[in-house]
Structure 1
Amino acid sequence: MVDFWAAHGFVVIQPTHLDSRTLGIPQSDPRTPRIWRFRVEDMKRILDQLDLLESAVPGLSGRLDRSRIATAGHSFGGQTAGNLLGLRVLNPETGKEEDLSDSRIKAGVLFATAGQGGDSLTPFAAEKMPHLNVSFEHMTKPALVVVGDQDDTPNKYQLTVRGPDWMTDPYFLSPGAESLLTLFGAEHSLGGIAGYEVKETTDENPERVALIQKVTWAYLRHVLDIEQSSWSAVKKTLSETANSIGRIESK
C-alpha cells in the first residue's frame, strides 16, 4: 500500500512504533499497557516535525501540502488512525474517555480495525486489552473503512464474541465514516496488504490487493478534494460488475 500510494502522487510517512517487531520489545515491558497512546503521540510528533522531515529528503522540499493530510492504519494501526480522527479510548488508568484527535488530519482509511468494546469483548480482551473499549461517537472526520468478510482473526486471538462483522463497527457507529469496502473471502491481511511475503497472509490474493490500492487511492483523492472522477468511477464499477470480489456501500 505504501509503495503504491507513494508511486501515485502521495508523500507517505510510515512510523516505526514502539511495539514494532523490528524493535523486539517484550510484552513484559512496563510501557506495553500505554503503547496505544504512544502510537498516537508518534503520529502527532511526525506532524510537529514535518519541516524537519521535508528538509531531510532530497527533492521533497516545497512538495508537501499541509492542507491535505490523511491517516491510514491496519488492525491496531487502524485504531491509531481512528484516534486521530476522533475515536475515543476509555483510558484504563483514569476511566475517562480521551480525545486524542488532531485537527491537522482531514480524513482516514481504516483497514480491518477493531470494533466497539464492552459486551463485544471476550473476558480475555477486556482484561488484557482494555484499550479496545472505545467510542466511535466522536469520530466525525471522513473515513473509508475496509473489511474482509472472512476476517476471523479477532476470534482466533479471543478478542471479540462476535464474528467478522465486528470490524464493520467503525463504519456503522461513527458519524464521519462515509464508505465501507467489503472484500469477499478476505481474511485479516485482506489479501496481503501488510507487506511483501508476510507470513500471516493466509489469504494471498494479488487481485484483491490491487483493488484495495485502486479504491483507497481514488478515495483519498476524493476526500482530500484533489479530483472526484476516480472515486465515482470505482464505485460505479464495483456496483455494476457481476461476481465482483468486493462491494462498496456509502452513507
Structure 2
Amino acid sequence: MRNARTILIVAMAAWCAIASPVAARTVSATFALIEPGDRGTISYRITAPTIGRRLPILLFSHGAGYSGDDYAPLVRYWADHGFIVVQPTHLDSRKLNLAADDARRASVWRSRGDDLVAALDRWPDLVRQSPAMLRNADPTHVVAAGHSFGGHSVALLAGMTVRGAEPLGDRRIRGVLLLSPPGGFDGLAADWQARAPYLDADWSAMRVPALTIIGARDRSAMSPRDATWHADAYRRAAGGNSCLVTLADAGHFLGGVGGQPLTLGTDPADPAAVAIVQGASLAFLRAAVTGVRFRPRRFAHATTECR
C-alpha cells in the first residue's frame, strides 16, 4: 500500500511538472463546451494554480487570428500569481480555418463575447471535466482581459455597446484589462469603416474599473491616427476608475506579450516592456477583484494617467 501511494504521488508530481513550466505551480488543460445553434464546440485553454482556495477567474480574449494557446508570457504569469485563466479560441482563429464564405464570419465580433459569457454560464460543466483542477475557483470574482480585437470583445462584457446591436454587458465582470484595443469608429480609415461596422463602439456606459495599456509606436493600418487611437476606450469611457499606461518604445504586441511565434517585424521583443505589462496588469486585476481602487506605479519608459 505504501509503495502504491508513493507511485501515485510521483505520478501526480510528474504530471504537474509536465503540464506547467512555472515551477509546477500551475497546470494547463484544454476543455470544450458544445453550444446550441451554429456556434458548435468552443475550445478553452484553462491555466490554473495548483494551490489556493477561492481563486478568481480571468477571462482572456485573443487578438484576431490567434488562439487560446497563445499569450503564454501573460497567462503563465497571471496563473502563477493566483488567477484561473480561461482562454477561448474564437471563430476567427486561424487554427479553426473558417471558410471565407462561412455565414458566421459576419457575427464573429458578437460570438467572441458569447464565448466568454458561455464559460461563466456553464462553469459547472467545465468543472465537471476536471474537478481537481477547477474546484478551487470562485466564479463570483471574475475579471476579463483582451489583446487587440480581444480588447473589443471584453469591453462588450464591461458595458461597451455597438451601434444597432443588443448590449452584451455582464454584471459578473468586476474589471477589464484592454491591451492595444481598437479605437473609435471616427478614427478608422474609410475602407475599414465599411469592412468593420462592429467597431462603431460607444464606451460611455462602460463603468467597471478598466486599465488600458498601449504602445506609443503602435501605428495601425486601420487608422490614419497615431498610437493614441488605441487609447480611445480610456478617454471615452465613463471614467471614475480608469487608467492608461503608454509604453514609450512598444508596438502592438507591447514587447512580446503574445509569446512565440507572435512577433512582428515592426514590434521587436522587449522583455522590459513585457515586465511592465505583467506587473501593472496583475496589480490592476487584483484591485478589481477585491474592489480596491487602482493606481498604477510609475515605470521607466512609460507614462501613466488615471481619470
TM-score (norm 1): 0.86
In the alignment, structure 1 segments of 5+ residues that lack a partner are: 91-95, 239-243
1:164 counterpart residue number: 227
SS at the partner of 2:243? Answer: strand
Counting matched residue pairs gives 232
SS at the partner of 2:212? Answer: strand
Identical residues among aligned pairs (%) = 33
Residues 73 and 28 (structure 1 numbering): CA distance in 2 closer, same or farther, change over 3 Å?
same
1:196: Cα distance to partner?
2.2
Residues 35 and 14 (structure 1 numbering): CA distance in 2 closer, same or farther, change over 3 Å?
same
Q: Return the alpha-carbon distance in structure 2 between the equivalents of residues 222 and 60 of structure 1.
A: 24
1:136 counterpart residue number: 203
* Code of the aligned partner of 1:195: G
In the alignment, structure 2 segments of 5+ residues that lack a partner are: 1-73
1:221 counterpart residue number: 286
1:76 counterpart residue number: 149
2:268 counterpart residue number: 203
1:227: Cα distance to partner?
7.2
2:108 counterpart residue number: 35
Residues 45 and 205 (structure 1 numbering): CA distance in 2 closer, same or farther, change over 3 Å?
same
Q: Deviations over 1:101-158 (max 9, x none)?
A: 11111111000001111x3221101111111111111111111001111101x2x2xx
Q: Which runs of 4+ in 1 moved over 6 A?
A: none
Higher strand share: 2
Q: Deviations over 1:8-54 (max 9, x none)?
A: 10000000111111111133322111100011111111111111212
| 2:298 is equivalent to residue 248 of structure 1 | no
2:25 counterpart residue number: none
1:226: Cα distance to partner?
7.4
* Code of the aligned partner of 2:88: P
Q: Return the alpha-carbon distance in structure 1 between the equivalents of residues 259 and 97 of structure 2.
A: 18
Superposition CA RMSD, Å? 1.8
* Cα contact 2:234–2:243 (8 A) shared by 1: yes
2:37 counterpart residue number: none
Q: 2:244 aligns with which of 180, 204, 226?
A: 180
1:47 counterpart residue number: 120
Q: 2:188 aligns with which of 98, 116, 121?
A: 121
* Cα contact 2:298–2:304 (8 A) shared by 1: no
Q: Return the alpha-carbon distance in structure 2 between the equivalents of residues 101 and 173 of structure 1.
A: 17
